[in-house]
Amino acid sequence: MPPPIPLPGSAPLVDQSPPESRHSRRRLRACHQCDWVMALPPLRSGEQATCPRCGHAEVRRHRYPAQRSMALAVASLVTLLLAISYPFLGFTVKGVSNHIELTQSATQLIGYHEPVVAIAVLLTILVLPALYLCGVILLQIGLLTGRPLPLSRVIARSLAHLEPWMMADVFLVGTLVSLIKIAGLAQVDLGSGFWAFGVFVILLVATSQSVDRDWLWFALAGEPSAPDGSRTGQTAAPQGLTGCHTCGLVNRLDARGKGRCQRCGEPLHHRRPLSLQRTWALIAAAAVLYIPANVYPIMTTTSFGRPDPSTIIGGVVKLIEMGSWPVALVILVASVIVPLGKLIALAWLCLVAPRAHRMNALARTRLYRLTEFIGRWSMVDIFVVAILVALIRAGNLMSITPGPAALAFGAVVVITMLAAMSFDPRLIWDEPAEPKRKRGRLR
């Protein structure tokens, strides 16, 4: 592989050259999914380093990472401000019209006694993305000026924890599904805020993809030497090592299998504490809530004074009867198949992890990655309810109210996401524990 190309000397220090060009020693990493210890190779812009054992992407390199992230984050924040400042959606039916702003998709739920769902919607589509973008901007300002802020490490740690809970892209899909559902009943108007929000979603995804965590942490705190005696081509646990999930640095654990990352301060463990027990508990809680989420109505549509409650499955059936097969398929997959499949997949992984076999470890790791990725998309149905409740408000002529299943289903989505986060995929690759042999007394 050709050596990395240093950037111009006029660039800020953080951008002048990648970490591997400033170190003669190898920089070690321990894979977060299979625990394999490896040395990072020299990387050029646009390249990534993947684990040779399980294929997990460890590092993605970008050219001008600080300036790139800074520009995208500023542009994202501007479009978010535009999205909440202008009308988002509107509808007209039989001379009655209504227009809403983006924030009303959450605030209107409070009036229907759904404050928890309203807070979840507000956090996932506005508050957490705004905090993430502000964090990226503050970090890059400090790095570009050569004077990192005192709380830069705390901010950088927070970015990694915020990212899974940002669901603006899922909300945009939910908005499109809502528009298709009501297009045959009323005339829909797309406001300037809708188009600004669409651009914001694209820029937000680009911003999160542009953050080079390896380069970021190197610029913030350098690269401490790997623990003495660290060996590549082996797993980290038998060596008393572990890789930090936040900054990637390889650290040595104490005799109890615990410690703190010497670079970012994140708590470290040999394996996530009580990983299987916590995952089983969360799976059980989600399974219990999955029943009322599908039995009770998720929303009630009132047309000409007649209420019509609808469950998730009932809504899919109605969409099929209306001929909206694509929308029905999206709701069926996101709201029924994905949550149920995620529960089954996580339960199966918990069952096989203690006696995993290396021949199947890669396939099971891929299943875990899929399970972790698709979980957040089940929020589509919650966002559909939030948009329709806020938009369709024409009294007895036509209105939509949230049902009791909305809270239960939202809880299922959040709990299954927490279950996937609590499961430690490194258990799949661990050697099965040998059963203890009973020793009888010789007579």
Q: Using one digit for the tens of pLDDT, what is the confidence trace for 340-397?
A: 999 999 999 999 887 766 668 888 999 999 998 888 888 988 998 899 888 887 666 6
> What is the tally of helices (H) and strands (E) in the chain?
17, 14
- Give me the helices (H) in 163-296, please: 168-182, 192-210, 213-221, 275-295
User: If you ran DSSP here, which 8-state letter would residue 220 be given?
Assistant: H
> Phi/psi of residue 396, each to 5°?
-70, -15
CB half-sphere exposure, 365, CA atoms < 13 A: 22
| Alpha-carbon distances, residue 96 vs 55, 92, 176 (angstroms) | 56, 6, 22
CATH number assigned to the domain covering 270-429? 1.20.140
**Tokens of residue 203, six digits:** 């820029």
Domain ranges of the chain: 13-65+215-269, 270-429
Bridge partners, residue 36, by sequence: 235
Cα 194 from Cα 328, distance rounded (Å): 23
Token readout for 239 is 């060596």
Which residue has 């965590």 as its token pair? Answer: 213
**Predicted confidence (pLDDT) per residue in 212-236, tens digit:** 888 888 888 888 888 888 899 899 9
Tokens of 270: 């040999």
The predicted-structure confidence for 39-55, as pLDDT tens digits, reads as follows 988 888 888 899 999 99
pLDDT at position 432: 67
Q: What distance lies between CA 230 and its chain's CA centroid?
A: 32
**Is the CB of residue 190 less than 8 Å from the CB of residue 93?**
no
pLDDT tens-digit series, residues 407-427: 999 999 999 999 999 999 999
* In the predicted structure, residue 108 carries a pLDDT above the cut 70: yes
